Structure 1
Amino acid sequence: MKRYKIAILILSFLVVIEGALLIFLWVSRPKKIPKIPAARGKIAIVIDDWGYNLNNLAILKQIKYPLTVSVLPNLSYSKIISQEAHDSGFEVILHLPMAPHEKIRLEHNTIMTSMSEKTIRDIIAADLDNIAYARGVSNHMGSEAVQDSRTMSIVFSELQKRGLYFLDSRVSQGSVCPELARKMHLGFVKRSVFLDNNDNPEYIRNQIYQLKLKARVYGRAIGIGHDRRLTLQVLKDIMPELEKEGYRFVFVLELVNECMY
């Protein structure tokens, strides 16, 4: 009888030990690691044509991802926009007015192919003085100018001197900019997709879908939209979704620095 009681005590002790061990193993089990989406590619979003007004500044500031704000020079709100964009953590570039084939609705001091080298350089200098914190330059219109080697050589020379890059909006299939930038060793990138040629939310979403496909295939892509409330609202809504899918938003400058000539 005594041996039976001892056996029961030993068995009970073992049960307690086993239970404690199971509890310890449960508590110390590896925690479930949150699934991190695979990297899909880098996306830079450029918003053109700032400077006419401050209508969309508030919604711009609600976007918590990298954006490149492209500001037209010498307009009523150019300086304010460039300052506010910079203070909000966005990248600022100069949206340089350049000659289109159709000479309509030209901005003041649009760079024309007939201008002298000095005039072109003076305009660029004045425009950059107006747009504080500019890290680069993109062409506003410019379908004629970007096809003219002389004009673009002068523009690129001035940008090179100032350590600025050039973003080709690709308004002309005959652009000399890619080859010229390569020869001059100028930081250069070009648009992948226009986001809002149609001011319709479904159209903009579809263009962003095309943009992310390019980023997935090529590792990077640049989308250009415009200073419009609808464009900014769609971006504000969709950018978190793309981040969850594994896409990373960057400034244009980061893509420029990755380019190899």
Structure 2
Amino acid sequence: MTAIGREDEDGGGFRISLVLVAYLVLAAIVMAVIAWLFLGREDTTSRRTLATPRVTVPLTVRGPSVPVSSAVYSIDGKTMEAKSSDAKAGGATPKDEAQEAAAQPAMTRPEGALDKAPDPELLEETPAGNLPAISTDGRQPWQFYARPFPDKDTRPRISVVLATMGLSRTATEAAIKQLPPQISLSFASYAEKLDEWIDQARLGGHEVLLDLPMEPANFPRSDPGPYTLLTTLSINENLDRLDWVMARASGYVGFTTFQGSRFVTSDELLRPVLDVLKQRGLMFLDSRSTSRSLAAAAAADIGVPRALNNRFIDGENTRAAIDRKLGELELIARATGFAVGIGQSYPVTIERLAVWAEALDAKGFALAPISALVNKQSFR
């Protein structure tokens, strides 16, 4: 009993020791946490910085989408990368842009240059960014940003559009400077600093479009990028992606289909896209990547300003092959009054186009911007 009694008497001191130990352990934990916060903060911040995308593109609230800091896509299995522009991602306000523009030295625009874009009356502020819009007085972007062309010119018209511009600085600058201004330029929607490229193109007198990436038949082997319109997505998801592409820049007349040999065969998915283009006053160039394309017929039915490609001029990018395709455009224009060709910004394409264009007038043809062929071609 005594032993048990002594144990009871000594129990108070034992409990005090336990409390003291607990306090010491707690203090050690607190000190360790404080040390980790101070010593590990720099490493944690570095990891967060590396994990954070460099560019955040604002998206529409219509539905979820995929933010990118750089667009990676592939054509026929060849991987390509085009960095996104940070022009619209840094939160710049119209006031900031106006102040920056005012700080730039005045520049004399050469003869034949198109006006600097955009016109604020032709923009709508949306959660996705500034989108093209028909002005309150009825002006439409496809007409306002078009290169003037005399409609009374009755000569057979040929329009050539170079697509995927803006991915190569050398090729893009060569096309802007070396080709006649009647040749239209369609820029890749993933290209960096699109607004700057468009201003340079318009300064050179070139009418501008944007490539609209659409699902090809061999997707995903050929992948037009993270904002491609896909047959596996809902209508709203595709319209979210369309908004992203439209918000990439301003001053363009409309869109050229980029790839899309599967998407353009779906009337159900095409029509909502074309409806948006009509509502925003944009034109649509069907590249006709497949003979089964329903795009031109759907655009005509909806009333979208439209044109359609007759020949890819540099599918085989040799001088002889390109010259042959340009000759075919002449035959089509002579027979029907209108012809459209689409090419890429290959050095050989630019070279042959420049030579061909010089002789076109003497042959009795009119080299025209793509807007001058809107609703002129038969697609039946």
TM-score (normalizing by structure 2) = 0.56
User: Which residue does 2:159 correspond to in 1?
Assistant: 44
**What SS is found at the alignment partner of 1:151?**
helix
Percent identical: 25
Question: d(CA) in 2 for partners of 1:55 and 1:84?
Answer: 13
User: Which residue does 2:216 correspond to in 1?
Assistant: 100
- What does 1:181-200 correspond to in 2, within 5 Å? 181-200=299-318
Residue type at the aligned position of 1:54: R
Question: Are the counterparts in 2 of residues 67 and 90 from structure 1 also a CA contact under 8 Å?
Answer: yes
Question: d(CA) in 2 for partners of 1:40 and 1:186?
Answer: 25
User: Which residue does 1:118 correspond to in 2?
Assistant: 236
Question: Are the counterparts in 2 of residues 54 and 81 from structure 1 also a CA contact under 8 Å?
Answer: no
State the Cα distance separating 1:255 from its structure 2 match: 0.7
- Of 210-219 and 106-115, more deviation after overlay is shown by 106-115
- Of 81-90 and 70-79, more deviation after overlay is shown by 70-79
- What does 1:1-261 correspond to in 2, within 5 Å? 40-60=155-175, 61-103=177-219, 104-106=221-223, 107-258=225-376
User: Which residue does 1:31 correspond to in 2?
Assistant: none
State the Cα distance separating 1:77 from its structure 2 match: 4.8
| Change in CA separation of 1:199 and 1:169 when aligned onto 2, cut-off 3 Å | same
State the Cα distance separating 1:105 from its structure 2 match: 3.6
State the Cα distance separating 1:40 from its structure 2 match: 4.7
Question: d(CA) in 1 for partners of 2:172 and 2:293?
Answer: 32
Instruction: Give a deviation string over 1:112-146, Cα, whole Å, max 9, x none.
Output: 01222222222222212213211011110001100
Aligned residues: 224
Question: d(CA) in 2 for partners of 1:65 and 1:139?
Answer: 22
Structure with higher RCO (Cα < 8 A, 6+ apart): 1
Question: d(CA) in 1 for partners of 2:293 and 2:375?
Answer: 22
Runs in 1 of length 4+ with deviation above 3 angstroms? 77-80, 257-261
Residue type at the aligned position of 1:159: L
Q: List alignment gaps of at least 5 residues for structure 1.
A: 1-37
State the Cα distance separating 1:182 from its structure 2 match: 2.0
State the Cα distance separating 1:164 from its structure 2 match: 0.9
Question: Are the counterparts in 2 of residues 40 and 245 from structure 1 also a CA contact under 8 Å?
Answer: no
**What SS is found at the alignment partner of 2:170?**
coil
| Change in CA separation of 1:257 and 1:89 when aligned onto 2, cut-off 3 Å | farther
Question: Are the counterparts in 2 of residues 39 and 247 from structure 1 also a CA contact under 8 Å?
Answer: no
Q: List alignment gaps of at least 5 residues for structure 2.
A: 1-152
Question: d(CA) in 2 for partners of 1:215 and 1:259?
Answer: 10
Residue type at the aligned position of 1:100: P
Instruction: Give a deviation string over 1:17-69, Cα, whole Å, max 9, x none.
Output: xxxxxxxxxxxxxxxxxxxxx96510101001112121113321122240111
Instruction: Give a deviation string over 1:97-118, Cα, whole Å, max 9, x none.
Output: 0001111241221110122222
TM-score (normalizing by structure 1) = 0.80
User: Which residue does 2:105 correspond to in 1?
Assistant: none
Question: Are the counterparts in 1 of residues 307 and 375 from structure 2 also a CA contact under 8 Å?
Answer: no
Question: Are the counterparts in 2 of residues 66 and 249 from structure 1 also a CA contact under 8 Å?
Answer: yes
Question: d(CA) in 2 for partners of 1:53 and 1:77?
Answer: 12
**What SS is found at the alignment partner of 2:191?**
coil
**What SS is found at the alignment partner of 1:223?**
strand
Q: Computing the radius of gyration over CA atoms, which structure comes out larger, 1 or 2?
A: 2
- Of 157-166 and 124-133, more deviation after overlay is shown by 124-133
